[in-house]
Amino acid sequence: MSEERFSGIPLLGEAFPELEVNTTHGKMKLPEEYKGEWFVLFSHPADFTPVCTTEFVAFAKRNDDFEALDTKLIGLSIDQVFSHIKWVEWIKDNLGVDIPFPVIADDMGNVARALGMVHPGKGTNTVRAVFIVDPDGNLRLMIYYPQEVGRQVDEILRALKALQISDKYKVALPENWPNNGLIGEKVIIPPAGDVKTAEERKTEAEGYDWWFRFKELDS
């Protein structure tokens, strides 16, 4: 890894680091465990903390939505596995929510360091990182939140679906798709790479100019 790179922070489009992890569902190898599927790995600062608990409940309640997109969830924090197990039990007993996905016990911090989850300016626990990995094991999206700000699971689902649609239809997705203020649920056609294609785009697709053309998803 280049010295010019931020230590431990992977880059979009790179292969997700090969990691052996201990989880509440047993030992796993990433990304091999989810080969052929998408997966979302998300870190939380610590077990038995209020914001993290609200996030785990939200992820659990939307687990079927991720499954519908052929995507698995996996959590992580720098805690031992028995702490994870007890916390998962607490959530079920006190909040009535089953946590269906595994949680990585990164008590040595090796995974957190490999993925740039520990930011010295925010303490020694992991920040709230999110990594979306595609079926080929490539990192496609990452988001970092500070410990004091909880994530929005709907946004992670939206971004995941947008990535899958972009791959399938070779289009780009606008701000807040499918509820964009300019073009609604329409998708953006990649800009033309030559004069001839630019002229053709003016008649083949709706848009504001040759470089800003869009269409219905199924057209």
CATH number, domain of 132, equals: 3.40.30.10
Is residue 97 over pLDDT 70? yes
Q: Are 129 and 205 contained in the same domain? A: no
Q: Are 127 and 179 contained in the same domain? A: no
Is residue 134 over pLDDT 90? yes
The token pair that represents 207 in the structure block: 């848009």
Q: Are 114 and 175 contained in the same domain? A: no
pLDDT value for 181: 96
pLDDT value for 188: 96
Per the CB < 8 A criterion, the answer to whether 173 and 188 are in contact is: yes
What are the tens digits of pLDDT across the range 31-53? 999 999 999 999 998 899 999 99
In a domain, 5, yes or no: no
Q: Which tops the pLDDT comparison, 68 or 126? A: 68
pLDDT value for 219: 53
Pairing of strands 139-145, 26-30: unpaired
Is residue 111 over pLDDT 60? yes
Is residue 10 over pLDDT 90? no
In a domain, 83, yes or no: yes
Q: Which tops the pLDDT comparison, 55 or 218? A: 55
The CA-based dihedral angle spanning residues 111, 112, 115, 119, taken in that order and rounded to the nearest 10 degrees: -170
What are the tens digits of pLDDT across the range 69-93? 999 999 998 889 999 999 999 999 9
Domain that holds residue 97: 19-151
Give catalytic residues, as residue numbers: 52
Out of 151, 181, 204, pick the residue that ends a domain. Answer: 151
Q: Which tops the pLDDT comparison, 210 or 24? A: 24
